[in-house]
A and B are shown apart, each in its own frame.
Chain A
Amino acid sequence: NAGVTQTPKFRVLKTGQSMTLLCAQDMNHEYMYWYRQDPGMGLRLIHYSVGEGTTAKGEVPDGYNVSRLKKQNFLLGLESAAPSQTSVYFCASSSRTGAGGELFFGEGSRLTVL
């Protein structure tokens, strides 16, 4: 029972480099989310998706892009990494929203941008 799997778990980048974080869920969930977590800031939504082929901006989308080509996968890309993007990134998925579906989270991806 994998649930939500994030890869990689750790990554160090230099300013200006690009990378992609992969989120995979095996629960057939419609909704997927990318959050970043910084000390004292709680969880901030970057982008989300309500189904295959759809994406939408969250609270802090600048500097990030996402894609949901397959229902089970939600990719988060950084085209030109900046030190301000040093953070822990969490992916989450949910089966529905109409009844307030709970979110299932991955274990996080810790990114450091030098």
Chain B
Amino acid sequence: AQSVTQPDIHITVSEGASLELRCNYSYGATPYLFWYVQSPGQGLQLLLKYFSGDTLVQGIKGFEAEFKRSQSSFNLRKPSVHWSDAAEYFCAVGPSGGSYIPTFGRGTSLIVHP
């Protein structure tokens, strides 16, 4: 069964600092990987996704993520955080191979200090 682990429940950074949110997955084949962001009071919005090819993927709002098969990781990064990036971030393994159900991590709450 596929699973996703986001080891950090909360992350606090200062505005302008760099950011890395961790995501580890368990999946038997090549995974389809996603990062979603949830602003307060909103639904989830796709930041970026990895299906195949280049292991470094670019997303919206200046985010990027790197797929590392050897580490079963798909960490999200941003070189300089803005106050508006404060939100909940979810990593997910996409449905594939006959499964209709994506698997989400429990989320990481990003707090940005001015």
Residues on A lying within 8 angstroms of B by beta carbon are 4, 31, 33, 40-43, 45, 48, 50, 56, 58, 90, 92, 94, 97-108
The distance from the CB of B44 to the nearest CB of chain A, in whole angstroms, is 4
Cross-chain contact A48 with B104 (CB below 8 angstroms):
no
Given A90-B43, A108-B42, check contact A97 B99 (CB 8 Å). Answer: yes
Q: Which of B42, B44, B45, B99 has the most CB of A within 10 A?
A: B44
Bound CA span A100–B105, Å: 16
Check B96 for interface membership: any CB of A closer than 8 A.
yes
Known: A101-B94, A103-B36, A108-B41. 15 other contacts (CB 8 A): A41-B106, A42-B106, A45-B101, A56-B100, A92-B44, A97-B94, A99-B51, A100-B34, A100-B94, A100-B96, A104-B46, A105-B36, A105-B43, A105-B45, A107-B42
Instruction: Please classify the interface of chain B as helix (H, G, I), strand (E, B), loop, or mixed, using the class held by over half of its residues.
Output: loop
Return chain B residues, CB-CB under 8 Å to A48.
100-101
Cross-chain contact B90 with A42 (CB below 8 angstroms):
yes
Return chain A residues, CB-CB under 8 Å to B49.
100, 102
Instruction: Give the size range of B's interface with the partner.
Output: 20 to 34
Given A90-B43, A97-B96, A98-B96, check contact A103 B102 (CB 8 Å). Answer: yes
Given A42-B90, A42-B106, A58-B101, check contact A100 B32 (CB 8 Å). Answer: yes
B40-92, CB < 8 A from A = 41-46, 49, 51, 90, 92
Given A41-B106, A100-B94, check contact A106 B100 (CB 8 Å). Answer: no
Return chain B residues, CB-CB under 8 Å to A90.
43-44
- Within the complex, which residue of B9, B43, B104, B105 is in contact with A106, where a contact is CB–CB below 8 Å? B43
